[in-house]
Structure 1
Amino acid sequence: MEVKVYKNYVNGKWVEPQNSGYVDVENPSTGKIIAKVPLSTKAETDKAIDIAHEAFKTWSQTPIPRRAKPLFKLRDLLMENEEEISKILVEEMGKSLPDARAEMKRCFENIEVACGMPMLQQSDKIIGTSFGIDGEVLRLPMGVFTVVAPFNFPAMVPFWFVPYAIATGNTVVVKPSKQVPGTMIKITEFIDKIGLPPGVYNVVNGDREVADAFIENPKVKGFSLVGSTKVCRTVAEKCARNNKRFQAMGSAKNHLVAMPDAKIDEVVRNMMTSCFGCAGQRCMASSVLIGVGDEMYKTICDKFTQAAKQVIVADPLDPKYAEEPNLMGPVISKHAFDFINKMIEVGIKEGAKLLLDGRGIKVPGNEGGHFIGPTIFADVKEGMEIHKTEIFGPVVCIMKAKNLDEAIGIINRHQYGNGASIYTQNGYWAREFKLKAEAGMIGVNIGIPAPVAFLPFGGMKNSQFADIKAQGKAIINFYTEDKIITERFWPETD
């Protein structure tokens, strides 16, 4: 099998890195090397930023409708080639083909919202702030913005940012995850065809050296990242020292509360998708299930465990399982595999009851793959490491609460607050949960409360280090600088 060698994309051209080493990209289903990605240097990164800075001078003066026009073409191109991109995503990341297609649809949605920039970026004007005086707020583009993408959503996450940066008149430099660079490289091949001026959009592959260069370069106005809370806290501190805008979306431990009146079949069906889609490697996965009351807790333990046993763990590129709705692929790497197995051992030692053990899964023909099956713990208590830690795998903790207030207390005492959901038919309980649960994204009878593109995406507490959330109308404030005008004119005199 041919091993691809990826390049950077700078100034409208594919560029061979000059001083870079390379790291291997592997298929997590097989463990085989499928590509090599360059580790670009600070000097190469700074050069790309310089080019983007020069391109900004012209792009920022381009009329807004003309800035949006290439995005219409991009949406059409990506939709026409959705299947090709999705299969690359599956090969290098390991999620199922239906999950990959769903990720691509989120890309389309964000492009569509950004195409409305002529409406979204309108200025505000007040006639008559005083006698003969008017006030106006101009929303102006700022310069070069940078994006560091995660491995779990290599297409969707960049599209929380890139279309908006471009449409608002800024230029952008993207660093794909070195574990899954091929998806964004393929998308960039289509971006190359939409007529953007050279330097408006650029891709620099690499590791931390590239990300640090983004933060330290004074020509960069803003930095967006999805990563662990530890990394996000460091990014926030560095960006603050460098007077740079930042969005840093961190770790999560999302709780799903099943009230006594919850429709149990819907809870179980939604939990299957929420917990085991993408092998649990997503920041909106419900990794903690709280059953309210003894009866609901016992029912959840029994029915969810039985349903989880039906999950098929296999290579998502195996034609036999490609469209299987209960398919779960591998986790991303040997490192992730080892960490998840370690946390399962921790849970056992802490005294949690292991209802379903996903260790030791063997997929014939894929002996080098990083497969772990659904794993479920019951009798989980606050303070246990398996409850405190983001495991980022197909491991679910089931807890019991006496009532809604106790369930909300469990959520609010946790350091993370990305998402939380409640299942109930009781409007009062739902309202209490919406108002009191400390999470940035709330679901009511929704397993994955990830908002659509025209609504903001982001968490609370240690799950987000930013004032402005991703995507939607709100992100316009991240990519523009307000300039406030106060003006007065006197009448001409003879």
Structure 2
Amino acid sequence: MSESATAAPPERIPHWIDGSPFDPVDARLGPVYDPALGVRTASVVFATPGHVDRAVAAATRAFPAWRDLSMARRQVVLFRFRELLNDRKDELAAIITGQHGKVLSDALGEIARGQEVLEFALGFPEILKGAFSRNVSSGVDVHSFREPVGVTAVISPFNFPAMVPMWFFPVALAAGNTVVLKPSEKDPSAAMWLAALLTEAGLPDGVFNVVHGDKTAVDALLEHPDVASVSFVGSTPIASYIYEAAARAGKRVQALGGAKNHMLVLPDADLDLVADAAVNAGFGSAGERCMAVSVVVAVEPVADTLVAKITERMAGLRTGDGRRGCDMGPLVTREHRDKVASFIDLAHRDGAVVVVDGRSVVPDGVPGGFWLGPTLIDRVPSTSKVYTEEIFGPVLSVVRVASYEEGVDLINSGAFGNGTAIFTNDGGAARRFQNEVQVGMIGVNVPIPVPVAYHSFGGWKASAFGDTKAYGTQGFHFFTREKAVTTRWPGPDHGGIDLGFPSTG
């Protein structure tokens, strides 16, 4: 009997609205796969505009009470959520691996980085303190404070189904907002698990909601008059679309787009360190990271030696089911796997040298998984789409340049400006690089320079749309608005009539 005939029917994944699952019987459904098995394991309910209305209405109703709840009581809920998450993070990691495909250790790492933002957000009473100026004029004081913006929408990608939502919703909730999360339809169960855990932690109904779906659900959030802000992470074309549509509707927007991250390697660098870093940053999470290193820019004469060292390390990598202790898992869908693999064909046609071809990988997993092994391509022309386009898979390109200046010019001429790194033992060169490179996040001998939670995340150029970065202090500024209050308490002699322009004195 075939596997399909004996398999259990796919799980049905509903929305989460007003504190409980909501499963409309007539909804469209989307497939959810286990990428390591290559089989459909669930069906996710897609939202109509009416379902989005229902979620936003719940968030709107919940907003006044949550906004007015004391800081101390909001802190209690978020602290309880943090403790529950810490105790049960293995459950969430298993969900992530089962629907995204990344190995369990990487899933746990994702949760840890999201939890960093949560822990930062728990200090919100200090961050949201206002300012006070006494006696700015005779008997006049001025103070300021920040208030939440209202209902916030978070639209998150498939590659970090827990971490990226946690870049936004802990900050939004701490500041007193309510949230409607639209996770990726490819791996939606992590969002549902987080919603249930927030409810268990004591979050009031309606404060955090989840709707699933495709462009229909996204557009309904972008156009909804009761949604005050939109946070997005994904590809550049979609980030641009979301920024323009939401801004046109009068909303605050932070839309983080794609990347083509370079690692500039100077001749004085420790090439063993560089080779380790290139492999780790290029192939972790199967290259499905917006901060993955996808281009090694080698300043000659080190390229031949560096390519050999990277190749040697790649030979020891084990690709397979993330539940088996492998180094790298599958890609998220068969379609995405095939798209990434097509760039290897393109590299051949463009005259590049495919040193390691991941299409021939023998995985530690079942044959039907969405497998593509780590791939190394040398001598990639800067005119090739292999170089210019975001591949979002385990494909590492090597571009050879003659000088530091040529390498920086190459990086700065690209459309993206998300992350970059320089590997060198020359402090002067590193300092010059920080000043000259036109990129938002920079590593010095650090291949994936994702800022810690108390700084902020965001790139330049086509990698980010909007004025505010994610999390950190900028995150709190995005989810709040400032009020400034000028106060005078009149005494016996209030000063009488004066039609002149108010001035200090």
> % of aligned pairs identical?
37
Q: How does 1:350-361 map to 2 (within 5 A)?
A: 350-361=350-361
Q: How does 1:317-328 map to 2 (within 5 A)?
A: 317-318=323-324, 322=325, 324=326, 327-328=327-328
Please tell me the residue identity of whatever aligns with 1:464.
A
* Cα offset, 1:175, TM superposition: 1.1
2:19 equivalent among 12, 15, 26 = 12
- Structure 2 partner of 1:402: 402
CA offsets 1:373-402 (integer angstroms, 9 cap, x no match): 111111122221111000000111111222
- Structure 1 partner of 2:100: 93
- Kindly indicate whether residue 163 of structure 2 is the aligned counterpart of residue 156 of structure 1: yes
- Structure 2 partner of 1:42: 49
Does the 8 Å CA contact 1:151/1:179 hold for their aligned counterparts? Answer: yes
CA offsets 1:421-466 (integer angstroms, 9 cap, x no match): 0111111111111111111110011011111111101111000112
* Cα offset, 1:111, TM superposition: 1.0
- Structure 1 partner of 2:503: none
Over the aligned positions, Cα root-mean-square deviation in angstroms equals 1.4
2:365 and 2:427 mapped to 1: Cα distance?
51
* Cα offset, 1:130, TM superposition: 3.3
Q: Give the SS at the match of 1:317.
A: helix
Does the 8 Å CA contact 2:36/2:365 hold for their aligned counterparts? Answer: no
- Structure 2 partner of 1:170: 177
- Structure 1 partner of 2:245: 238
2:85 equivalent among 73, 78, 82 = 78
Does the 8 Å CA contact 1:456/1:469 hold for their aligned counterparts? Answer: yes
1:268 equivalent among 258, 275, 279 = 275
1:299 equivalent among 298, 305, 308 = 305
Q: How does 1:431-446 map to 2 (within 5 A)?
A: 431-446=431-446
1:48 and 1:186 mapped to 2: Cα distance?
17
Does the 8 Å CA contact 1:252/1:463 hold for their aligned counterparts? Answer: yes
* Cα offset, 1:311, TM superposition: 1.2
1:364 and 1:298 mapped to 2: Cα distance?
30
- Kindly indicate whether residue 39 of structure 2 is the aligned counterpart of residue 32 of structure 1: yes
Q: Give the SS at the match of 1:312.
A: coil
* Cα offset, 1:188, TM superposition: 1.9
1:365 and 1:302 mapped to 2: Cα distance?
28
- Structure 1 partner of 2:329: 329
2:55 and 2:465 mapped to 1: Cα distance?
26
Does the 8 Å CA contact 1:19/1:40 hold for their aligned counterparts? Answer: no
Please tell me the residue identity of whatever aligns with 1:276.
F
Does the 8 Å CA contact 2:320/2:365 hold for their aligned counterparts? Answer: no
Please tell me the residue identity of whatever aligns with 1:271.
A
Please tell me the residue identity of whatever aligns with 1:420.
T
* Cα offset, 1:493, TM superposition: 4.6
- Structure 2 partner of 1:102: 109
2:38 and 2:150 mapped to 1: Cα distance?
41
Q: Give the SS at the match of 2:469.
A: coil
Does the 8 Å CA contact 2:350/2:381 hold for their aligned counterparts? Answer: no
Q: How does 1:111-130 map to 2 (within 5 A)?
A: 111-130=118-137
* Cα offset, 1:12, TM superposition: 1.1
- Equivalenced residue count is 487
1:48 and 1:236 mapped to 2: Cα distance?
22
Q: Give the SS at the match of 1:192.
A: helix
- Kindly indicate whether residue 330 of structure 2 is the aligned counterpart of residue 315 of structure 1: no
2:114 and 2:33 mapped to 1: Cα distance?
24
Please tell me the residue identity of whatever aligns with 1:206.
G
- Structure 2 partner of 1:387: 387
Q: Give the SS at the match of 2:485.
A: strand
- Structure 2 partner of 1:460: 460
Does the 8 Å CA contact 1:19/1:41 hold for their aligned counterparts? Answer: no
Q: Give the SS at the match of 1:491.
A: coil
Q: Judge which range, 187-196 or 141-150, deviates more.
A: 187-196
Q: Give the SS at the match of 2:44.
A: strand
Please tell me the residue identity of whatever aligns with 2:38.
G
1:258 equivalent among 235, 244, 265 = 265
Does the 8 Å CA contact 1:456/1:471 hold for their aligned counterparts? Answer: yes
Does the 8 Å CA contact 1:147/1:161 hold for their aligned counterparts? Answer: yes
- Structure 1 partner of 2:297: 290
- Structure 2 partner of 1:207: 214
- Kindly indicate whether residue 487 of structure 2 is the aligned counterpart of residue 487 of structure 1: yes
Q: Give the SS at the match of 2:195.
A: helix
Larger radius of gyration: 2
Q: Judge which range, 274-283 or 366-375, deviates more.
A: 366-375
Does the 8 Å CA contact 1:69/1:115 hold for their aligned counterparts? Answer: no
Q: Judge which range, 472-481 or 354-363, deviates more.
A: 354-363
1:260 and 1:377 mapped to 2: Cα distance?
20
Does the 8 Å CA contact 1:31/1:369 hold for their aligned counterparts? Answer: yes
Does the 8 Å CA contact 1:309/1:374 hold for their aligned counterparts? Answer: no
Q: Give the SS at the match of 2:143.
A: strand
* Cα offset, 1:238, TM superposition: 0.5
1:203 and 1:53 mapped to 2: Cα distance?
14
Please tell me the residue identity of whatever aligns with 2:434.
K
1:145 equivalent among 140, 148, 152 = 152
* Cα offset, 1:136, TM superposition: 2.2
C-alpha spacing 1:194/1:161, structure 2 compared with 1 (3 Å): same
* Cα offset, 1:18, TM superposition: 4.3
1:46 and 1:16 mapped to 2: Cα distance?
15
User: TM-score w.r.t. structure 2 length?
Assistant: 0.94
CA offsets 1:108-154 (integer angstroms, 9 cap, x no match): 11111111111011112222333433222221111100111110000
Does the 8 Å CA contact 1:68/1:114 hold for their aligned counterparts? Answer: no
* Cα offset, 1:491, TM superposition: 2.0
1:362 and 1:40 mapped to 2: Cα distance?
39
Q: Judge which range, 165-174 or 62-71, deviates more.
A: 62-71
Q: Give the SS at the match of 2:184.
A: coil
* Cα offset, 1:271, TM superposition: 1.3
* Cα offset, 1:362, TM superposition: 3.8
Q: Judge which range, 456-465 or 121-130, deviates more.
A: 121-130
2:55 and 2:365 mapped to 1: Cα distance?
42
- Kindly indicate whether residue 62 of structure 2 is the aligned counterpart of residue 51 of structure 1: no
